[in-house]
Homo-oligomer: A and B are copies of this chain.
Amino acid sequence: MILTVTLNTALDITYRVRSLRPHATHRVSEVAERPGGKGVNVARVLAALGHDVTVTGFAGGHTGAVLRAMLAPAPAAPVARERGGADTPGALVDALVPVSGATRRTVAVVDERTGDTTQLNEPGPQISPAEWAAFLGRYQELLPGAEAVALCGSLPPGVPVGAYAGLVRAARSAGVPVLLDTSGEALRRGVAARPDIIKPNAGELAELTGSHEPLRATQDARRRGAHAVVASLGADGLLAVTPEGHWRAAPPAPVHGNPTGAGDSAVAGLLSGLVDHLPWPDRLARAAALSAATVRAPAAGEFDGPAYTELLGRVRVTGAASAA
């Protein structure tokens, strides 16, 4: 089982409007709703790849109830994890901790004229000390059964800013590989606790290190404590600096579409390759192909199964293993 932690889960709402104009009234032509928060997105991709996943974090209020109800049904049809392979979808187990506040909504407003998306993110519910303690207990219960754990996304109000550092240390004490995907001060503190992998995007990496030069920033992030750093650089693909070597992985040509969720799919690819004991170049190929297949999918945050299978054979991984 792979464990994903989403402390600030979300009910993701997508609106389509003819053309978004500030100060106007808009008739929404289409409404879509799905469970969200980075770790929930990662779990959905992992389950589609055939992995058993457990989702923890917080959920509350009527939005939390909707989110949990939508997590319950079987995930999307499975796709081959490898070319030629075939799997049944993995189980997606809901181990969210109930809270008295309401799970936040996010609203993505898609302008049909330009294709642009305008995003409105609610802050998330206030987490009480008792709720935080309940989560820590749940996390400790789940860790021994996990092959890997992913700590994903922002912290809701009330959760201490050093939260991820503690969760990283607990995973490492339990001997469970831990991936951290967050930003700002939560990332800064989490990195210092020496996670196995971090997956910042270019902006998060620059904020963490002060450098806008990706290779330098990635190396600096390792010095700050991360064992491996996989930076997602948009159209430039992935840049990985790990104890085993450093690599770049990208599809053969830029992929056009909606980048929402591409980073979460990359995290899912890295975890999938990790628990399948693949060498780094193959993990990166999986992550880059999933990421590109997500950009190419018509619905935001979904990934296109056939595109993934096709891209997996065409992603170019360049770099070298360390001499060690």
Chain A residues in the interface with B (C-beta under 8 A) = 13, 15, 17, 20-29, 31, 62, 65-66, 105, 107, 109, 111, 114, 116-123
A-B contact pairs, 6 of them (CB 8 A): A17-B120, A23-B116, A27-B121, A28-B122, A28-B123, A29-B123
Contact partners of A22 in chain B: CB under 8 A:
20-22, 111, 116, 118
Known: A107-B107, A111-B22. A120 touches B15 (CB 8 A): yes
Whether B123 and A23, one on each chain, are in contact in the complex, defined by CB atoms closer than 8 angstroms, is no
The answer on a CB contact under 8 Å between A123 and B27 is: yes
State A65–B109 Cα separation when bound (angstroms).
Answer: 25
Task: Tell me if A120 and B62 are in contact (CB < 8 A).
Answer: no
Q: Quickly give the copy total for this chain.
A: 2
Which B residues are CB-close (under 8 A) to A66? 62
Bound complex: CA of A27 vs CA of B65, how far in Å?
23
Min distance, Cβ A28 to any Cβ of chain B, angstroms = 5
Chain B residues with CB under 8 Å of A24's CB are: 118-119
| Alpha-carbon distance A116/B21, docked complex (angstroms) | 11
Asked if A120 and B26 make an inter-chain contact with CB atoms under 8 angstroms apart, the answer reads yes
| Assembled-state Cα–Cα distance A114/B22 (Å) | 10
Chain B hits for A65, CB < 8 A:
62
Q: A15-B107, A25-B118 are in contact. List 5 more A-B contacts (CB 8 A).
A: A20-B118, A21-B118, A22-B22, A24-B119, A28-B120
Residues of B within 8 Å of A62, CB to CB, are 62, 65-66
Would B121 and A28 count as touching, CB distance under 8 A? yes
A118 & B23 in contact (Cβ 8 Å cutoff):
yes
Assembled-state Cα–Cα distance A27/B105 (Å): 11
Most buried by B among A21, A29, A65, A118: A118
Nearest Cβ in chain B — how far from A258, in angstroms? 13
CA distance A119 to B122 in the complex (A): 16
- A17: chain B residues at CB < 8 Å are 120
What residue in chain B is nearest A11 (Cβ atoms)?
Answer: B62
Rounded to whole Å, the gap between the CB of A106 and the closest CB of chain B is: 9
Residue of B nearest to A111 (CB): B22
A115 CB to nearest B CB, Å: 10
The residue on B at minimum CB distance from A66 is B62
